[in-house]
Chain A
Amino acid sequence: MSGSKALSRFHQPISVPGRRLIHNVPLKFVVKKAVGGGSRAVNQEIPLIPFIDFLLCIVCFLLASFSASGELPVDKNVHLPKAENVLDMTEAPMVAITGTQILVDGTAAGSTRTIEDANRMQRIDELFTILKNKRELWKQVNPGKEFPGVAVLQVDKRVTALVVKSVFQTAAMSGYPSISFMVGRLGKNE
């Protein structure tokens, strides 16, 4: 009987082994954390090196396509036509025809009314003077260089051919024989 006495002296219920700390805290989320709950670890390492590689790729791409000259100023009243067989834009004096106004780099350079009233091609004196002055200025700034003679016409799609031809002829007479018409780029599939 001495054996059974000893057993009763050290009698303890058998319990499942495991974590015991913070079990008494009466908050479910604390207990859940302490036990582990079998869920995945919440902490995550951000993979910084691929992230930096990705950023560097973006920087390289954006630097390659960066243009210091900025966007070309297009008057919001001008609706440009679209074309497929086009060339890239170039820097040149910009002659805009918006409604009845003719502008050279944003400065008023005549009206289309006189041409429409006369109903025949004619030289626009104000435009002629401004373009001629621009050409003289270019020659003074770049002595010894050949003048490119390029001007860009920004013409609304509703403007009549008579006005376009008059502006074209005036620009040619003032020393700009190579005229480019600004257009929207039309995709090959459109």
Chain B
Amino acid sequence: MAGIDVGGGHGGKRALNMDIPLIPFIDFLLCLVAFLLVTAVWSQMARINADAKVPGPPRPDEPDEIKPEKELHVEMRGERKFQLVWKEGATVINTIDVERKAVNVGNEGDVTFPALAEKVVSEWKNNGNHRASNDKKFDRAVLHTDNSTPFSDVIAVIDAVYAPQREFTLGVKTDKVPAFNLTFAVN
């Protein structure tokens, strides 16, 4: 077994040679491995963010008039197509139709809308306002959905809206985050 030899041990002195007890050490390591394996979290859970448009408390430095920003309204009530509508306040700037083509993923009935994702990416590249990594604000998307739409379809559309990604610096850390901040339309 492993040992440390530093000489000495002669002339009635205590021996300085030491054997490292390897077997208990290995046992200890194996116990540690077993414990860590048992408590390991192999979770595949994640989250998709959505913001409610709630007004904050009034601030003294708030300007009297706030210029409305461009918003991307995603209309998913149609059976055959999605509609992407750029609006500035109540004014419609542009309307784009995208074919509603669902692609099945896995065998649990999940779907994605890659055509919609592709179109949202190109739209953000052309019309997105907040691109700089130090910009704290995000472009806003509003989702219009039917009351009877299943949640899996809603998530698939939100996932497509979050396809365009931008860099976002918070402190010293820079991450890739979705370029849009999504909220639900009330009606």
A-to-B contact residues, CB < 8 Å: 48-49, 51-52, 55-56, 58-59, 62-63, 65-67, 70-72, 74, 79-90, 119-121, 152, 155-162, 164-165, 168-169, 171-173, 177-186, 190
Contact = CB atoms under 8 A, between A and B. Distances in A.
Interface size classification for chain B? 35 or more
A39 B4 CA distance: 35
Contact of A158 (B146, B150, B178, B184): B150
Contacts, number: 170
B184 A165 contact: yes
A149 to B, nearest CB: 9
Contact of B155 (A173, A183, A190): A183
A83 B44 CA distance: 11
Contacts of B165: 85
A65 B40 CA distance: 7
Contacts of A160: 147-151
A63 B39 CA distance: 10
B47 A161 contact: no
A162 B147 contact: yes
Contact of B45 (A56, A162, A182, A190): A182
Interface of B: 1-2, 22, 25-26, 29-30, 32-33, 36-37, 39-41, 43-52, 54, 105-106, 108-110, 112, 145-152, 154-156, 158-159, 162-163, 165, 177-178, 184, 186
A179 B143 CA distance: 15
Interface of B is mostly: mixed
B176 to A, nearest CB: 10
Contacts of B105: 82, 186, 190
Given A62-B36, A66-B36, A158-B150, 4 more contacts: A55-B26, A158-B151, A159-B151, A160-B151
A89 B155 contact: no
Contacts of A178: 49, 51-52
30 contacts: A48-B1, A59-B29, A62-B33, A63-B36, A66-B39, A80-B45, A82-B110, A83-B48, A83-B155, A83-B158, A83-B159, A85-B162, A85-B163, A86-B48, A89-B43, A155-B151, A157-B110, A157-B150, A161-B149, A162-B147, A165-B184, A178-B51, A179-B51, A180-B50, A181-B50, A181-B158, A182-B47, A183-B46, A184-B45, A186-B112
